[in-house]
C-alpha cells in the first residue's frame, strides 16, 4: 500500500499550506499540507525531511516532529495510507521550490484554514495548534 507523509509546518500560530496546481492528476486546485510518497526502505521521518526539502527548500528538525494522525483512504488495491506530522523547527525559509506541484504557498491561522483534502487531517492540525500554541 502506498504511504504518504504530510507536514504541518507551524510558526507563530500559523500553519503553512500549499495550493496544488490545477493540472495535478490527484487532488488538483486545492489547499493542502506539503508532503509526498515514502520511498522503499525509507522511514516516515526520513521521507518527511526529504519531501520538505524538495518542496519547500527547508531542513526540518525531525526531533521536533510530532505525529498528528494516520488515515487510510480508498479501498483494496487503491488504498493509500496518510501520516500527518506537526513540525515546529526547521532551517531555511519555506519557498515554493516545486512550482510544477504547487502554484502558491501561504500561512494560515487555525480559524482561517480552508478545507483540506482530508478533513480528519485538518481537524488534527487545528486541535494541535490550539493545544500547543506553537
Residues 17-73 have pLDDT tens digits of 999 988 887 788 889 999 999 999 999 999 999 999 999 999 999 899 999 999 988
Residues 120-132 have pLDDT tens digits of 999 999 999 888 5
Q: What are phi and psi of 113, to 5 degrees?
A: -60, 125
Longest dimension (CA), the chain: 40
For residue 90, which of 121, 68, 59, 123 has the smallest C-alpha distance?
Answer: 59
SS3 content of the chain, % helix, strand, coil (to 5): 25, 35, 35
Distance from C-alpha of 112 to C-alpha of 35, rounded to nearest angstrom: 21
Question: pLDDT-derived band of residue 118, with 50, 70 and 90 as boundaries?
Answer: confident
Cβ–Cβ < 8 Å for 13, 133: yes
pTM above 0.85, yes or no: yes
pLDDT recorded at residue 54 = 97
CATH code at position 37: 3.90.79.10
pLDDT recorded at residue 134 = 44
Cβ–Cβ < 8 Å for 114, 17: yes
The domain containing residue 78 runs over which residues?
3-132
When divided into structural domains, the chain yields a total of 1
Amino acid at each position: 500500500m502506498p504511504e504518504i507523509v504530510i507536514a504541518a509546518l507551524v510558526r507563530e500560530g500559523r500553519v503553512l499550506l500549499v495550493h496544488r496546481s490545477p493540472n495535478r492528476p490527484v487532488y488538483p486546485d486545492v489547499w493542502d499540507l506539503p508532503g509526498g510518497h515514502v520511498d522503499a526502505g525509507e522511514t516516515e521521518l526520513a521521507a518527511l525531511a526529504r519531501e520538505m526539502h524538495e518542496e519547500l527548500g527547508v531542513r526540518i528538525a525531525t526531533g521536533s516532529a510530532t505525529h498528528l494522525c494516520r488515515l487510510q483512504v480508498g479501498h483494496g488495491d487503491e488504498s493509500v495510507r496518510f501520516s500527518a506530522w506537526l513540525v515546529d523547527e526547521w532551517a531555511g525559509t519555506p519557498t515554493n521550490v516545486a512550482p510544477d506541484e504547487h502554484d502558491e504557498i501561504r500561512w494560515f491561522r487555525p480559524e482561517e484554514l480552508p478545507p483540506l483534502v482530508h478533513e480528519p487531517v485538518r481537524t488534527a492540525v487545528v486541535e494541535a495548534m490550539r493545544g500547543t500554541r506553537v
